Amino acid sequence: MAKYRKKPVVIEAVQYVYPNMDAVAEFAGPDFPVRLGERTDAGRELIITTLEDGANGEAKHVASPGDWIVRGVQGEVYPVKPDIFAATYDPA
């Protein structure tokens, strides 16, 4: 099996700390709307529209409080769990 190394890129990110939905919505911008989802012990989940959502708008990405919202290399946004974010990214 072939192995690959992730190319070094600098990304932008904001952490979703309930109730800072406004900060995440501003970061995501109008092309990737966000809305509140289910209530959890930590606060409210955040539903993020991404490039993967189909024409029916069915959300495939839900952020929990504490998750990082990342802007990818093509301008897309998606949530990343804190432990995966810490293992994948260093401050630039």
> pLDDT, tens digit, for every residue of 26-85?
998 888 878 788 787 778 888 887 766 656 656 667 889 999 999 988 888 889 999 999
Q: Is 13 exposed, middle or buried (0-12, 13-18, 19+ CB in 10 A)?
A: middle
- Is the pLDDT assigned to residue 12 strictly greater than 90? yes
pTM above 0.85, yes or no: no
* pLDDT computed for residue 41 by the predictor: 76
CA 54, CA 89: separation in Å to the nearest integer? 28
* pLDDT computed for residue 51 by the predictor: 65
- Is the pLDDT assigned to residue 9 strictly greater than 70? yes
- Is the pLDDT assigned to residue 1 strictly greater than 70? yes
**Cis bond upstream, residue 30 (ω within 30):** no
* pLDDT computed for residue 28 by the predictor: 87
- Is the pLDDT assigned to residue 16 strictly greater than 70? yes
